[in-house]
Amino acid sequence: LDAKTLLNKLKKEHSLTLDEYRYLLEHRDCESMEIAAGYAKEFQNQYYGNQVYIRGLVEFTNFCRNNCLYCGIRRDNQNCQRYRLNKQEIVDCANEGYDMGFRTIVLQGGEDFAYSDDDICDIIRSIRSAHEDLVVTLSIGERSRESYRRYYDAGARRYLLRHETASPELYAKLHPAELSWEHRMNCLKDLKEIGYQVGAGFMVESPGQTMRDLAMDLKFVEEFKPDMCGIGPFITHQDTPFANEPSGTLETTLFCLSLIRMIYPMVLLPATTALGTIHPRGREMGIMAGANVVMPNLSPASVRKKYALYDNKICTGEEAAECLECLKRRMESIRYQIVTDPGNRAGL
Ligand code: SAM
Ligand code: FES
C-alpha cells in the first residue's frame, strides 16, 4: 500500500476498501493532503466551477429533548439559556434572507417537540407562499416517517440529519442509551425514500473516534451517497461531559473534505462554521480542499450566542448582512464567488 497509489485509485474508481481508507487516514501527511486537495478541486471545478452556494441558517430553538454528550444545547446543560422563535419571527428571518439573495434557508433546532407537526407545516407553508422560489431545508432531528412525509407535502424539499458516526459502537459512546444508531440510520433512509435531498454528515475526531471509525464514515458516504455531507471537527463545550476532551484538528477535517469530494464528486460539501471556528481561515481552506457550500447565519443577533453547540463559535456577534458580506469577501480572497441560487446537487 502507498498513499499516492490509493489516491489515484480513488480518483478513478470513487471507491476504496475500508482498510484502504484507513491507511490513507493513518498516513496522512502534507504530500497526501496536497494531492487529495488537487484532485478534489478538479472535481469541484468540473461540477461547480468557482461558484460557492449559500444557505441561510435560522437557528430557531435551542430547546432539546436529547442529551448527546458532545453538544452544548443538550437537555442537562443548566447553563444554557433557552429560547424559541415564534412563527412570525421565523418567517421574518426567511423573508430577510430572501431579500438578501438567499434562495434556500435551513430551519435548524434542537429536538423541540413544542413545535408540533402542524406548527412546522404551517411555517413551511407561510415561507413558501411568500416566495415560491425559496427552497426550505429542515434540520430538526429525528421524527417519524409520517411527520417527515407531512413536512414534504407542506413543501420542504431538503433535510439535514448528520449520521454523526457510521460506527454503532462509537455512536453508543457519544450518546445516551435512549438514542440509537439504527433509528438515526432509519430516519435517513426514510427521508431519502420520501424524496428529500438529504444531508448526512459526521464529526471529525470526536472523543474516542479511531481512524477505523472515520474510515467507516467515508465508506458510508460512498454507499449511501447523501446529496450533501456536513462535516466539521468536534469542538469542546465546557458544560458537557466532554469538557476535557480535545477538539478535532483542521488537518484531518480538510483531508476528509478532499476524500469525500473524490468519493462522490457531485456531492454538496459545506465548509462549516465549526471549521471556521478552529481556524480563522478554516472555511476558506475548506473550499480550497474541495468544499462548495457555506452556511451564513440568519438567526436574529439577539439569540445567536445562545445557540452554542461548542465553545467560541464564530459569527455570534454579527448581523445576517454582516456575515454574508464577510463571506463574500472571504470567498473573493480565494477567487471563488458566492452565488444566488437554490444550489441543487449537480446531476439532479
Ligand atoms: N437537532 C438536530 C439534529 O440532531 O440533527 C439539528 C441540530 S444539531 C445541534 C446539529 C449538529 O451539530 C449535530 O448534527 C452535530 O454534528 C453538531 N454538533 C453538536 N455539538 C457539537 C460539537 N461539540 N462540536 C461539533 N459539532 C457539534
Ligand atoms: Fe459571520 Fe464572517 S461569516 S462574521
Q: Where are the domains of the chain?
A: 3-339
| pLDDT tens by residue, 173-210 | 999 999 999 999 999 999 999 999 999 999 999 999 99
* Residue 75 exposure: Cα atoms within 13 Å on the Cβ side: 9
Distance CA 320, CA 331 (A): 17
Specify whether the CB–CB gap between 257 and 269 falls below 8 A: yes
**Which residues surround ligand 1 with Cβ inside 6 Å?**
70-71, 108, 110-111, 139-141, 161-162, 164, 203, 232, 234-235, 237, 274, 309-310
List CB contacts of 297: < 8 A, sequence separation 6 or more.
Answer: 56, 57, 59, 273, 304, 315, 318, 320, 323
Ligand nearest 143 Cα, by number? 1
Give the Å distance between the CA of 278 and the centre of ligand 2. 14
**What is the predicted pLDDT for the residue at 1?**
83
| pLDDT tens by residue, 246-269 | 999 999 999 999 999 999 999 999
Backbone angles phi, psi at 87, to 5 degrees: -55, -45
Give the Å distance between the CA of 309 and the centre of ligand 1. 7
Assigned C-alpha cell, 41 = 478541486
Give the Å distance between the CA of 216 and the centre of ligand 1. 19
pLDDT at residue 155 is higher than 90: yes
* DSSP code per residue over 258-282: HHHHHHSTT-B-B--HHHHHHSTTH
**What is the predicted pLDDT for the residue at 242?**
98
Q: Which residue has the cell 420520501?
A: 194
Q: Is 160 in the pocket of ligand 2 (CB under 6 A)?
A: no
Residue 282 CA: distances (Å) to CA of 4, 236, 240, 269, 306: 25, 17, 24, 14, 23
Assigned C-alpha cell, 51 = 461558484
Query: What ipTM describes this predicted complex?
Result: 0.98
Q: Is 132 annotated as a binding residue?
A: no
* DSSP code per residue over 89-124: HHHHHHHHHHHHT-SEEEEEES--TTS-HHHHHHHH
Q: Tell me which of 293, 322, 331 to substitute to probe ligand 2's pocket, judged by most ligand atoms within 8 Å of the beta carbon.
A: 322
| pLDDT tens by residue, 49-87 | 999 999 999 999 999 999 999 999 999 999 999 999 999
List CB contacts of 49: < 8 A, sequence separation 6 or more.
Answer: none
Assigned C-alpha cell, 261 = 469530494
Distance CA 15, CA 296 (A): 32
Q: Tell me which of 60, 62, 162 to substitute to probe ligand 1's pocket, judged by most ligand atoms within 8 Å of the beta carbon.
A: 162
Specify whether the CB–CB gap between 166 and 202 falls below 8 A: yes
Distance CA 141, CA 139 (A): 6
Specify whether the CB–CB gap between 60 and 73 falls below 8 A: no
Assigned C-alpha cell, 341 = 441560487
Domain spanning 3-339, CATH architecture: Alpha-Beta Barrel (3.20)
Q: What average pLDDT does the chain have?
A: 98
Distance CA 267, CA 344 (A): 10
**What is the predicted pLDDT for the residue at 263?**
99
Model's pTM, two decimal places?
0.98
pLDDT at residue 226 is higher than 90: yes
Assigned C-alpha cell, 287 = 473550499
Q: Is 139 annotated as a binding residue?
A: yes
**What is the predicted pLDDT for the residue at 83?**
98
Q: C-alpha angle 310/109/67, rounded to 5°?
A: 60
Give the Å distance between the CA of 13 and the centre of ligand 1. 32
Give the Å distance between the CA of 213 and the centre of ligand 2. 32
